[in-house]
Structure formats: structure tokens, C-alpha cells
Amino acid sequence: MKLQKPTLISTTFNNLLVLLLISIFTISCEDSNDDNVDNPDDNIECQNSQTATSQAQNDFQNASNSEYENLCSAYKDALNLQILECGDEEGVLQTIIDDLGDCSLVVEPPVSNAEFYITGLFNGEPIIMQTGTSANYLLGCGGGLGVSGDPGDIIKRGYGALLASSIPFNENPAGDMSFDRFYEGPYVPPFQGTFDPAFNSSFPVGNYSHTEEFLNTDRGMRLEFYTKGVGSSSGVYYATTGGDQTNTVFTITESVSDNYNQSGETYYRQILTGTFNCMLYSTNGDPIEITDGTFRLRVVDECL
């Protein structure tokens, strides 16, 4: 699945493109190494190879990260064939081949300095969901798993943070990260809130596994992902709960209170920063591997 058009062709590729254009207009079939060609202008093989090189270059220029290595190799093959059929007296084509190297693509993980964000490489494609952009991302409350009870019972409750664009019918991806069963305290009926000072100490720094089962009472985390916004009918929904999470790990690297007072009442909030690697699965079982994931989100005690 093509999640987002990447910006993978950098200055290096632009340099290659310039060299290729030079080669197309300056290298003629008169450079052919075939001594048996009386009239190089009639060398159909040379002309065909130049056309193939131009097409391969165009495909490579528009390659996504997942297509990069295959299209790079095809481009190199086309350049080598052009050298064979047309020659390369000035060494321009060979220079392009040398600069392409082994066609390995190193994609730098996306970095965000926004107030709140979820980022990562999704199947190698950089994805950034963050506030303070033209996409108008807002941070809302999500639902975390918890245990029901009667007033006064000691229970565990979860919380979530939904990061999504408020622009209607947008094409921007959205993410919902849950912090399941992090808070332990007295049960209070919904919409009343716990308003418990222990909330701020309920999200310690450390590593957390994926939330595997509803009845599991241990702390855990999970992620839901929407490719084109929460309400888009053309988007695809993915979740960590859809398949194997053997190597998944979520890490809270910083946990800072962000409480505020209103009408004499304290509302408890916690800003959580961290990293993660996990697998996402669509309803059809299609996987997305997230590597180098990062997040900075706020969970709130009054959002039930």
C-alpha cells in the first residue's frame, strides 16, 4: 500500500538526472564500439537503448521508497545496455552508474518538533502526524481498556490519545494510541472522572508490551491507524490487535504532569513522550511494519 508520497530523490538524484540529460543530448551512436557499423545513425539498437534508458530514468525519478531498489537496478541495467550499444567515450554514463552504487536506499526516520505527534517509518515510508501544521491536526481523547466495577471498587483504567485532522474529508492519516490499564484507583461512574492525584504517577518511564487480551490486567499499549482520516470511506483502518506482535515494544521515555485548575477543581493530565516498533494489520490481514516510531501525546483524567 502506498501510504504517502515520499521525498526520496535528493540532491544526489538531481545530479544524476543532470548527467543523464547531458548524456542523452551529447552521446550519439557515433561513439559505438561496434566497428562493423558503417553508419552509426542507422544503429537501431543504440536508439532503442537510449529510449529505454530515458524510460528507466523517468520510472526511477518517480519511485516510492518501496520501489527504489528495483527501479534503481533497472535504471543501471538500461545505462549498461546503452554503453554496450552506443559507447560512452566521455564516461558520463559510467559516472551515473558509479554514483548509483549498490542501489541501497537509506531512509532517515521522520522527526517532529511539534507539541504533539506520532511519527515513524510505515513499511519504510515516512509518516508524520503532528499538531501545528496546515493539516490542522488536533489532539483528542481515545478510549483505553479498563475494568468495570461498583463505586468504591479498586479498578484499572486505560486512556487514549487520538491525533487526527479536523479538516472534513481530508486525506491525512490519523493515529490513536492507547495506554491500557495504566491507572489503578477507586471506580467512579463514567463522566464523573477520578480526579485522583495518583493519576500523574500512573505512567512511569519504561518499556511496555502490546495489549494482547482484554482480560489481561497488566499495563500495555496499542495503536490504531487510519490511512485517510478517521471518517474517510476511502481510507484503510489498521490496528496492532490484528496479528502477531512478538517483537513489538512501546517505550515511555518521559512522563511529565500537565495539570490545570478550573472552578476550584484540579484536572489531572500527563504528557507522555516515547518510542515504539510494532506491526499493524488491516481487516484483510495486510501488514504494516512500523520502525523508528516516536510519539508525544497527552492523556487526560477527565476524558472517559
pLDDT higher than 70, residue 193: no
In this structure, the answer to whether residues 25 and 156 fall within a common structural domain is no
Checking if the pLDDT of 206 tops 90, the result is yes
Domain annotation covers residue 66: yes
**Domain-located, residue 105:** no
- Confidence label for 192 from pLDDT (cuts 50, 70 and 90): low
pLDDT at 41: 58
Residue 142 has pLDDT above 50, yes or no: yes
Kindly report the backbone phi and psi dihedral angles of residue 138, in degrees, each rounded to the nearest multiple of 5, phi listed first: -125, 150
Which amino acid type is present at position 188? V
One domain, residues 28 and 93: yes
Q: Is 169 left (phi over 0), alpha (psi -120 to 50) or beta?
A: left
Structure confidence at residue 239 (pLDDT): 95
> Which pLDDT score is estimated for 164?
93
Same domain, 234 and 88: no
**What's the rounded mean pLDDT across residues 265-294?**
94
Q: Is residue 62 in a domain?
A: yes
Asked whether residue 122 is domain-assigned, the answer is yes
- Whether residues 124 and 209 fall in one domain: yes
The predicted structure's pLDDT at residue 22? 43
Please say if the pLDDT value at position 77 is more than 50: yes
Q: Is residue 108 part of a domain?
A: no
Residue 29 makes CB contacts below 8 A (sequence gap 6+) with 37, 40, 41, 43, 46, 47, 85, 86, 87
Residue, of 75 and 36, whose pLDDT is higher = 75
191 and 245 housed in the same domain: yes
Q: Does 202 have pLDDT greater than 90?
A: yes
Q: Are residues 266 and 125 in the same domain?
A: yes
Assigned domain for 69 exists: yes
Residue 82 lies in a domain: yes
Mean pLDDT of the chain: 83
Claim to verify: residue 125 and residue 67 sit in the same structural domain: no
Q: Do 283 and 184 have their domain in common?
A: yes
Strand segments (E) across 55-173: 117-122, 125-130, 137-144, 154-165
Q: What percent of the chain shows pLDDT beyond 70?
A: 79
Domain boundary among 100, 127, 143: 100
| 61 part of a folded domain | yes
In this prediction, residue 42 has a pLDDT band, given cuts at 50, 70 and 90, of low
Q: How many domains does the chain have?
A: 2
What was the pLDDT predicted at 240?
95
Say yes or no to pLDDT of 28 above 60.
no
Residue 143 sits in the same domain as residue 29: no
Residues 185 and 296 in one domain: yes
Domain ranges, residue 26: 11-100
Distance CA 287, CA 297 (A): 25
Q: 80 and 152 in one domain?
A: no
Q: What average pLDDT does the segment 209-231 reach?
A: 84
Which residue, 44, 70, 100, sits at the end of a domain?
A: 100
pLDDT of residue 156: 84
pLDDT tens digits for range 229-261: 887 777 899 999 989 999 999 999 999 999 988
61 and 172 share one domain? no
Domain boundary among 100, 128, 151: 100
- What was the pLDDT predicted at 37? 41
What's the pLDDT score for residue 154? Answer: 82
